[in-house]
Structure 1
Amino acid sequence: MKRNRSDEKTRRAPSGAAVPRPELTEALYRAFFEEWADRGFGALSLERVAARAGAGKAAIYRRFPSRLAFAEAAISTLGLRIALPEVEGTTLQEDILNLLVQTRVVLRHPMVRRILPDLHAEAARSTEMRVINDRVAQARRERAEVLLDRWVCRGELPEGLDRDLALDLLVAPLYWRMVVRGVTPTFAELETQSRAIMAGLSALGMTTTSQ
């Protein structure tokens, strides 16, 4: 039986440039963050990143033209996965508490706690890193808008809520305690914090309504 030449062509591996393998790209992202956590972005070496991932430096440059492009891809791809957890509660306080509990899981990771302060420091020094940081933060805020919409639709918060300030309030107290102060709150403390945030959100609504 003769083989179909067109079938052989479709099965044949492409010649020329290698096709990036998704699993290697993921390994490079993980190695990138490990290197960043250990040494800081300023001292980050792409050679060491490649070695951590069990690859050559060429594997990085086949995917990204520069260290900054690598950083943008890594932060955007993996950063958004942990930017805002999925929250499914039945009340405002339950939603806020679930958000805090899930965010605590992310922020208590040693690598995350070392990278985040350095990311903000780099953003203060570098316009390019500021753009990357702002882009990821904006994506997180857009996802949090879904929560605000839910609470407004359920009548738990007013439509005239100051949304920008509300988005700051949602996780800022937890971020300050865990990343800035290095303290991991207990579940009971998260419950107290959720009530305080809920009161703050309600106060924002009342302030907006009275104006």
Structure 2
Amino acid sequence: MSEVPRRAPTGNALFRPRITSAITEAVLEELAAHGYARLAMEAVARRAGVGKSALYRRWPSKQDMVIAVLSEFSVPLADVPEGVSLREDLESVLQALHDWLTDPHVATILPDLTAEAVRNPALAEAIRTTIGEPRRALGTAVLLRAVERGELPADLELELALDLLAAPVYWRLSVRHAQLEPDYFDRLVEHLLRALDARPTPQGQAHHNSVA
């Protein structure tokens, strides 16, 4: 018996991912071009080439739309592969943070969104719970792995340590708008290891020596 050929997907099954991708890009572009306060659902729909109903089927408001898109874009960038040592993990974390902050969309959107959050407590809370907390949770996992390996003390102050990881790169790139020297991350990792009272394990030290 001959096999019945499968029909190629049509209609919504074919266009839904494409529409979602177009909307995501349109939200980022509208935010970069006009800022959060002046962003309009109509403009996003027009740029994406869809009707407003396509937006409202996904999100009930502008805030929900913006936070969902930024979360989907931002949170995965904080998820770094597990290395064999805290040093290697810190290098990955800092590189991931650099890549996020220097993304053309984020570099334009983040200052405006930060300022808007000062004026809009509901937006600030949405950013904190939907973007900030998930990114910090991924950073927490990196630090807890180091605690389990014996590289960091068991009484590590996690919240303070997380601030310490992100602050130098954010300050350098987003506040000072300064360039990073070629050895910036190497020097920063050395400072972070000392500040966190890191204790290299034999495995981590062997790996560091092999690549030094």
Structure 2-normalised TM-score?
A: 0.80
CA contact (8 A) 2:27 2:44 kept: yes
What is the alpha-carbon root mean square deviation over aligned residues? 2.4
CA contact (8 A) 1:87 1:99 kept: no
Match of 1:28 in 2: 23
**Match runs of 1:177-192 below 5 Å:** 177-192=172-187
SS class of match (1:98): helix
**Match runs of 1:26-175 below 5 Å:** 26-82=21-77, 84-135=78-129, 136-175=131-170
1 CA distance for matches of 2:83 and 2:67?
Answer: 33
2 CA distance for matches of 1:100 and 1:12?
Answer: 43
Deviation at 1:102, TM superposition (A): 2.5
Structure 1-normalised TM-score?
A: 0.81
- Return 5+ residue gaps in structure 2 as ranges: 1-8, 199-212
CA contact (8 A) 2:91 2:185 kept: yes
Q: Quick one: structure 1 residues 190 and 29, their matched pair in 2 at CA, closer, same or farther if it must change by over 3 Å?
A: same
2 CA distance for matches of 1:25 and 1:99?
Answer: 29
Deviation at 1:78, TM superposition (A): 2.2
- Return 5+ residue gaps in structure 1 as ranges: 1-10, 204-211
1 CA distance for matches of 2:76 and 2:25?
Answer: 13
2 CA distance for matches of 1:30 and 1:80?
Answer: 16
1 CA distance for matches of 2:87 and 2:22?
Answer: 38
Deviation at 1:115, TM superposition (A): 1.0
For residues 95-142 of structure 1, the C-alpha deviation after alignment (integer angstroms, 9 at most, x for no partner) is 212221232122212211111111211211112101111112111111
Deviation at 1:178, TM superposition (A): 0.9
2 CA distance for matches of 1:142 and 1:13?
Answer: 39
Deviation at 1:13, TM superposition (A): 7.9
CA contact (8 A) 1:108 1:184 kept: no
CA contact (8 A) 1:20 1:63 kept: no
Identity %, equivalent residues: 38
Deviation at 1:193, TM superposition (A): 1.1
